[in-house]
């Protein structure tokens, strides 16, 4: 369990993280989303005691990271996969970490095997490919068999096989009751991996909800139906449009896109009016779309765009000076 | 006649160059590669990480300094061919003194390197402190500046590596002066490591 309370980080003039408060609970995968520069990595560094919060605190199982006695056995972290001394072999890198935390050395070979690096283990880490570095990073996170995992873009640079392997790994870890907190920009992957989402933008919390709620909130009920007969199609559309809040779009091929009704409702209606359907399905909004809608609504990240509130302040002061 | 170990002691200033560079790079390379994060994640107590680094580098510097002193003394003894004195007791003392001096310089360098994090910054400070300032002070001459030089790490180091009768203070004081420099750098390095983000 990770507890973040009023966490704030200021770097000179930039407020990288702005009063974040949320919990990362055990037994589920919590995805951490936000545009570039939103403050995800900074938040994770503060959780791991690498950056000092300007305000607020981040606790792991109720304690600050610096107070953990054998930290690698309490939290497994992967921040920057490339942050390994290039002359050290992958194995030597892990051995040093294991020694410092009283982890038996046989565990080093176990995790190297687990991440598929056993063959390259004795080569200098500087010769690893991006994906291999990523695997070494994951090996380091798993080393102490920790109940909490904090992973910053773990699938970055992994091949499709690796991406699927990470997905299976973190889901398995969460199913065992561990706490998993991971960031990623791959929305389709996140949709398959995470149970819960924490979304930030410009350092501020935009959302802290379950994946299902997040998707449901973003998409009103919608469905597609294919009605082969034009007359029946027109009849169905008329019936659908009698209700408020329902919109129907018809494509040339005869496919109807209905917003405000689920597939089940349309199916029932079609049955009642004796309309033949060739295909009927709910339209599910993707996490990508839901995420883009949320960030677009809550501000500004569109390239070169400005928010109402950021432009309002300087504009007002400009006028005051004139 | 001079003791043969003085030759080794005089060139400690050159050995210290190697020690300074190695000690500095031992710290700054961790920042350059980012592996310092792995170290701090494994051992979040900053004082331990800092002390471990200083200890390892100091031991290496001590061994290197002492080994160099043994070789240097032997070479000088044969080279000077009877024009240098040799006593086991004094030579052993000088060998240990040179080792100790290099170890303290290593601790000093580690502290400065933790404070600056970049090799250029650390080496500029160390080169100024260990080479430039002594040359300037001694070059300008005068008892005040020479006295000041005696308070700098290398000036004080000379006093205990090469004990001379006319020294204004004894060997123990000289060791304490160098140790104080090393301790000050260590404390500053630790302060920066604790306060600054990694
Ligand atoms: N050491 C630092 N010094 C100054 N500014 C920093 C530092 N680290 C991060 N920042 C700034 O803080 C903000 C948040 O950066 P952060 O790396 O946390 O974003 P992120 O959400 O991880 O982005 P990405 O998705 O690109 O990885 C950015 O504006 C960044 O420029
Ligand atoms: Mg990041």
Residue whose C-alpha is closest to residue B61's, from B178, B164, B167, B173: B178
CA angle B176, B182, B184 (to 5 degrees): 100
- Verify whether ligand 1 is closer than 6 Å to residue A254 (CB atom): no
CA A233 to centroid of chain Cα atoms: 41
Q: φ and ψ at A300, to 5 degrees? A: 70, -15
Structure tokens at B7: 């030759």
Number of C-beta neighbours around residue B172 at 10 A: 9
Check pocket membership of A125 for ligand 1, CB cut-off 6 A.
no
Q: Is B152 helix (H, G, I), strand (E, B) or coil?
A: coil
Nearest in space to B178 (alpha carbons), one of B120, B98, B122: B98
Give the chain A residue whose CA is nearest to the CA of B30: A85
| pTM, to two decimals | 0.84
Is B21 an 8 Å CB contact of chain A?
no
Mean pLDDT of B116-120: 96
Burial of B27 (0-12, 13-18, 19+ CB in 10 A): buried
Closest protein CA for atom 3 of ligand 1: A11
* A79 to B197: CB separation less than 8 angstroms, yes or no: no
Distance from CA of B34 to the nearest CA of A (A): 4
Please tell me if the CB atom of residue A52 comes closer than 6 angstroms to any atom of ligand 1.
no
**Chain B residues lying within 8 Å of A82, measured CB to CB:** 34
Element (H, E) at A68: none
Q: Which amino acid residue places its CA nearest to atom 17 of ligand 1?
A: A41
ipTM comes to 0.83
Tens-digit pLDDT profile for residues B16-28? 999 999 999 999 9
Q: Tell me the nearest-neighbour CA distance from B47 into chain A, angstroms.
A: 12
Q: State the distance from the centre of ligand 2 to the C-alpha of A224, rounded, in angstroms.
A: 38
In order along its 322 residues, chain A shows pLDDT tens digits of 999 999 999 998 899 999 999 999 999 999 999 999 999 999 999 999 999 999 999 999 999 999 999 999 999 999 988 889 999 999 999 999 999 999 999 999 999 999 999 999 999 999 999 999 999 999 999 999 999 999 999 998 899 999 999 999 999 999 999 999 999 999 999 999 999 999 999 999 999 999 988 988 877 778 899 999 989 999 999 999 998 888 898 888 888 999 888 889 999 999 999 999 999 988 878 898 889 888 887 655 444 444 433 333 333 333 333 3
How much distance in Å is there from the Cα of A27 to the middle of ligand 2? 24
Contacts of A63 (CB under 8 A, 6+ apart): none
Bridge partners for A63 per DSSP? A60
Phi, psi of A94 (to 5 degrees): -75, -35
Residue B105 corresponds to which tokens in the numbers above?
């310089």
DSSP state letter for A63: B
Please tell me the number of the ligand nearest to residue A202's CA: 1
| C-beta of residue A78 within 8 angstroms of C-beta of residue A140 | yes
Q: What torsion do the CA atoms of A214, A218, A221, A226 make, to the nearest 10 degrees?
A: -110
Q: Which numbered atom of ligand 1 lies nearest the CA of A38? A: 21
What are residue B142's phi and psi, to 5 degrees? 95, 145
Q: Are A236 and A275 contacting, i.e. CB atoms less than 8 angstroms apart? A: yes
- Where in chain B are the domains? 5-196
Q: Which domains does chain A have, with CATH numbers?
A: 2-216 (3.40.50.300), 220-284 (3.30.70.100)
Residues in B touching A45 (Cβ below 8 Å): 197-198
Which chain A positions have a beta carbon within 8 Å of B43's beta carbon?
71, 100
Longest Cα–Cα distance in chain A: 76
Q: How many Cβ contacts (< 8 angstroms) between chains A and B?
A: 57
Inter-chain touch A50–B41, beta carbons under 8 Å: yes
On the 0-12 / 13-18 / 19+ scale of CB atoms within 10 A, A69 is: exposed
Q: Are A39 and A205 in contact (CB under 8 A)?
A: no
**Closest residue by CA, ligand 1 atom 28:** A37
Residue nearest to atom 10 of ligand 1 (CA): A16
Q: How far is A308 from chain B (nearest CA, A)?
A: 33
Measured CA to CA, the distance from residue A7 to residue A40 in angstroms comes to 12
> Would you state the torsion angle of the CA atoms of residues A251, A252, A256, A259, taken in this order, to the nearest 10 degrees?
20
In this structure, are residues A142 and A111 in contact, taking their beta carbons and an 8 Å threshold? yes
Residues on chain A touching B38 (C-beta within 8 angstroms): 83-84, 93, 96-97, 140
* pLDDT of amino acid B5: 78
A40 lines ligand 1 (CB under 6 A): yes
| Higher per-residue confidence, B118 vs B5 | B118
Residue-wise pLDDT tens digits, B53-71: 999 999 999 999 999 888 8
For residue A84, give the nearest of A35, A15, A133, A20 by alpha carbon. A133
Burial of B37 (0-12, 13-18, 19+ CB in 10 A): buried
List of residues 6+ apart from B135 with CB closer than 8 A? none
What count of other Cβ atoms lies within 10 Å of the Cβ of residue B59?
Answer: 13
């Amino acid at each position: 369990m990770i507890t973040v309370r009023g966490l704030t980080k200021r770097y000179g003039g930039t407020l990288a993280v702005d009063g974040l408060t949320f919990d990362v609970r055990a037994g589920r995968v919590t995805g951490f989303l936000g545009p570039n520069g939103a403050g995800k990595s900074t938040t994770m560094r503060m959780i791991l005691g690498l950056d000092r919060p300007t305000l607020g605190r981040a606790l792991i199982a109720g304690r600050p990271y610096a107070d953990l006695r054998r930290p690698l056995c309490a939290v497994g972290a992967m921040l920057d996969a490339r942050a390994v001394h290039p002359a050290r072999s992958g194995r030597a890198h892990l051995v040093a970490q294991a020694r410092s935390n009283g982890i038996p050395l046989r565990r080093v070979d176990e995790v190297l095997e687990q991440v598929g690096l056993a063959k390259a283990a004795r080569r200098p880490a500087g010769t690893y490919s991006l994906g291999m570095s990523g695997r070494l990073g994951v090996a380091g996170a798993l080393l102490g068999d920790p109940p909490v995992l904090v992973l910053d873009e773990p699938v970055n640079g992994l091949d499709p096989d690796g991406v699927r392997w990470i997905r299976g790994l973190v889901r398995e870890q969460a199913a065992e009751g561990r706490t998993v907190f991971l960031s990623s920009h791959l929305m389709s992957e996140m949709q398959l991996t995470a149970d819960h989402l924490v979304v930030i933008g410009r350092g501020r919390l935009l959302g802290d909800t379950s994946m299902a709620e997040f998707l449901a909130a973003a998409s009103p009920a919608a469905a597609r139906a294919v009605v082969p007969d034009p007359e029946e199609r027109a009849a169905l559309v008329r019936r659908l449009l009698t209700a408020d809040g329902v919109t129907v779009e018809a494509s040339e091929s005869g496919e109807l896109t209905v917003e405000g009704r689920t597939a089940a409702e349309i199916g029932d209606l079609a049955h009642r009016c004796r309309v033949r359907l060739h295909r009927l399905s709910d339209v599910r909004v993707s996490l990508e779309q839901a995420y883009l809608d949320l960030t677009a609504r809550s501000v500004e990240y569109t390239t070169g765009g400005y928010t109402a509130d950021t432009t309002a302040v300087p504009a007002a002061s400009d006028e005051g000076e004139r | 006649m001079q003791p043969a170990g003085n030759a080794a002691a005089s060139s400690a200033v050159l050995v210290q160059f190697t020690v300074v560079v190695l000690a500095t790079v031992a710290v700054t390379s961790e920042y350059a590669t980012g592996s310092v994060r792995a170290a701090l994640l494994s051992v979040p107590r900053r004082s331990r990480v800092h002390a471990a680094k200083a200890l390892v580098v100091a031991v290496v510097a001590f061994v290197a300094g002492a080994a160099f002193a043994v070789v240097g003394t032997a070479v000088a003894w044969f080279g000077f061919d009877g024009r240098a004195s040799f006593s086991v007791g004094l030579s052993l003392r000088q060998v240990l003194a040179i080792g100790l001096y290099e170890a303290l310089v290593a601790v000093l360098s580690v502290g400065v390197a933790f404070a600056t994090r970049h090799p250029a910054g650390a080496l500029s400070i160390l080169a100024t402190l260990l080479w430039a300032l002594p040359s300037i002070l001694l070059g300008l001459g005068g008892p005040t500046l020479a006295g000041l030089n005696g308070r700098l790490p290398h000036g004080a180091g000379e006093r205990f590596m090469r004990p001379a009768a006319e020294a204004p203070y004894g060997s123990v004081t000289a060791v304490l002066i160098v140790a104080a420099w090393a301790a000050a750098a260590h404390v500053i390095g630790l302060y920066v490591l604790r306060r600054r983000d990694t």
